[in-house]
Amino acid sequence: MKNVCSILAILALAAAAAWSSAGRAESLAIRNCTWCHGTSAEGYTPAPRLAGQRASYIENQLVNFRAHTRDNPLSKLYMWGAAANLSRQHIRDLAAYFSAISPRAADDGDRELAATGRTIYQEGLPNSNIVACVACHGPEAQGVRQIPRLGGLAYSYLTRRLEQWAEGYHAAAGPPMPGIAAKLSRHQIEALASYLSFIK
């Protein structure tokens, strides 16, 4: 009987351990994210791809959704609620989880605009005082630290985000993005978004 008890105790401990790792995955509420962001987190209009995004960027965005700093209409509608009850640990775990998934390019921009977009991204337009995106977002638009990966994001998401800087919405990032994006014309935004959407 005593043996049975200790076997049961061991089994219970083992089960608890297994349960806690399953529980941890469950606690990440990944399914709550993938309803909108796609089952493999590759994005699903209008929710952006999270796969391969910089972990620090995801963390920073979730913190700012929770704080109601990032305030464009869809953020208010979906992400404020989604982030409301996330603990700091939840946020770190979600960011680590999604950043580790390998990203696929959306490939949905206008191919004819991609060359113009490439010039703006890689070289800037010095005569128009438009800076080269590559300085911060990297030569393959891969991002770094809290600076997001842009390569392969969806055309519609990129165009909206670039437009919103000039529309007075707030975002997690302060300077320099509002000033930079406000200088871009509609055509330049479409060209950039096209170029970026094709980057693997």
Partner 1 sequence: MKAVGLQLALPSAIVAVVLSAGSVSATESSAVSKREVDAKISYCQDCHGPQGQGYRGFYPIPRLAGQQPQYIENQLRAFVERRRPNPIMSNVAHVLRPGLMAALAAKFHSFNPRPLGGAPPGLAAKGENIFLNGVPEANVAACAACHGPEATGVGEIPRLAGQLYPYIVRELTYWSKERGQIPSKPDTSVIMAPVAHSLSRPQIEAVAAYLSTLRK
Find the part of the chain contacting partner 1 (CB under 8 A) among 4-12, 36-44, 59-67, 175-183.
175-183
CB of 54 closer than 8 Å to CB of 147: yes
Report if residue 6 touches partner 1, rule: CB under 8 A. no
Residue 57 CA, chain-centre distance (Å), reads: 7
Report if residue 51 touches partner 1, rule: CB under 8 A. no
Residue 70: how many CA atoms within 13 Å on its side-chain side?
Answer: 23
Report if residue 145 touches partner 1, rule: CB under 8 A. yes
Find the part of the chain contacting partner 1 (CB under 8 A) among 52-60, 78-86, 129-137, 162-170.
129-137
Query: Which one among 29, 36, 101, 136 touches partner 1, defined by CB under 8 A?
Result: 136
Find the part of the chain contacting partner 1 (CB under 8 A) among 12-20, 47-55, 133-141, 164-172.
133-141
Query: Which one among 123, 167, 186, 187 touches partner 1, defined by CB under 8 A?
Result: 123
Min separation Cβ 40 and partner 1, Å = 27
Calpha distance 145→168 (Å, rounded): 25
CB of 192 closer than 8 Å to CB of 110: no
Residues in the chain: 200
CB of 158 closer than 8 Å to CB of 177: no
Nearest to 163 by CA among 134, 130, 187: 187
Report if residue 13 touches partner 1, rule: CB under 8 A. no
Calpha distance 15→193 (Å, rounded): 49
| Residues binding partner 1: number (CB under 8 A) | 23
Alpha-carbon Rg of the chain, whole angstroms? 21
Report if residue 147 touches partner 1, rule: CB under 8 A. yes
The residues in 76-105 that bind partner 1, with binding defined as CB under 8 A, are: none
Q: Which residues sit at the interface with partner 1, rule CB under 8 A?
A: 122-124, 126-127, 129-132, 134-139, 143-145, 147, 175-176, 179-180
